[in-house]
Amino acid sequence: MDVHNTFLQGDLSKKVYMVLPLGFQWQGEYKGMPESSYDHSLFTKKDGLDVVIVLVYVDDLLLTGSSMKLIQELKSVLHRHFKMKDLGDLKSFLGIEVLRSKSGILLTQRKYALELISDSGLGGAKVASTPLEQNVKLTTVDHDEYTGKLDDPPLKDITGYLRLVGSLLYLTITRPDISFTVQMLSQFMQQPKASHWEAALRLIRYIKRSPGQGLFLSSDSDAQLSAYCDSDWAACPNTTRSVTGYVVKLGNSLISWK
């Protein structure tokens, strides 16, 4: 569901501090609610054994639950208080596309991935078969100074690297296969080097291989929770610590990973 003109439909309920633009001045003062009153982006309502869940992001709402009757009642309440538009079954939310079939639900960010490839200027580049080059060891500037390595200079302008890694972080919502590489690249946000930039571009070329790959939630699954973890035994060259990864599955569906 989508709220029309959401910012015009409610009073400010808490203090907001801001610097006024040039030429503006205060005309009054808003009285805020008690500090114990907070906004929530996710809330639930129970009716016996049934439950309805609402996710709120600015002016967009997701409604789901175990009872269509309870969902319809909630929609009626929302329509009475706000001017809203019912967009029907969920197809897309915050760049995440939702594809349904009898076998389950596929969550993908294909459009987002294609835009990321285009913005990176790699639309015509050759695809990569793996997210990260085999046996590559990405190191910090301090590590290079200590070991005397001089062939990997820091980037003069780091804004492009920061923007690219930030975009890749959002893509990991539906792409667990790139999570490890993105986590590694995000460790060098303060002083990225040429090798880090090249690794980030290689990851884009890997994504280009299958931009529509996503996360499949199977409808034919039990409620059995299982978890797996592993570590690389102190293989990090910068800290000499182990890097640990894990996955958690609910039945056949992957629900958490690192």
Whether residue 45 sits in one domain with residue 122: no
Is residue 135 pLDDT above 50, yes or no? yes
> Is residue 256 domain-resident?
no
- Residue 178 near residue 168, CB atoms below 8 Å: yes
Q: Is residue 76 part of a domain?
A: yes
Residue 143 confidence (pLDDT):
87
Sign of CA dihedral 195, 196, 199, 200: negative
pLDDT computed for residue 31 by the predictor: 40
In a domain, 173, yes or no: yes
pLDDT at 38: 36
pLDDT for 169-197, tens place per residue? Answer: 999 999 999 999 999 999 999 999 999 99
Query: Based on the domain organization, do 162 and 121 belong to the same domain?
Result: yes
8 A C-beta contact, residue 252 and residue 220: yes
Mean pLDDT of the chain: 83
* Residue at 227 is within a domain: no
Q: Is 36:23 a contact under the CB 8 Å cutoff?
A: no
Task: Judge whether 59 lies within some domain.
Answer: yes
Q: Is residue 116 located within the same domain as residue 49?
A: no
At 73 the pLDDT is 85
| Residue 86 CB contacts under 8 Å (≥ 6 apart), including other chains | 1, 75
What's the pLDDT score for residue 46?
A: 64
**Domains of the chain: total:** 2
82 and 51 within one domain = yes
Q: Which domain holds residue 189?
A: 108-215
- Whether residues 147 and 197 fall in one domain: yes
Write b or e for each residue in 184-214: b if 16 or more Cβ atoms lie within 10 A of its Cβ, otherwise e.
Answer: bbeebeeebbebbbebbbbbbbbbbeebebb
Mind spelling out the 3-state secondary structure of 169-224? HHHCCCCHHHHHHHHHHHHHCCCCEHHHHHHHHHHHHHHHHCCCCEEEEECCCCCC
Stretch 75-88: mean pLDDT, rounded?
Answer: 85
Instruction: Say which amino acid occupies 238.
Output: N
- Does residue 9 sit within a domain? yes
Regarding whether 171 and 117 lie in a shared domain, the answer is: yes
Domain match, 33 and 115 both:
no
Q: Is residue 243 part of a domain?
A: no
Lowest average pLDDT, out of 24-28, 90-94, 249-253, goes to: 24-28
The answer to whether residue 78 sits within a structural domain is yes
pLDDT digits (tens, 9 = 90+) for 27-58: 333 344 343 443 445 556 666 788 888 888 87
Residue 97's region, left for phi above 0, alpha for psi from -120 to 50, else beta, is beta
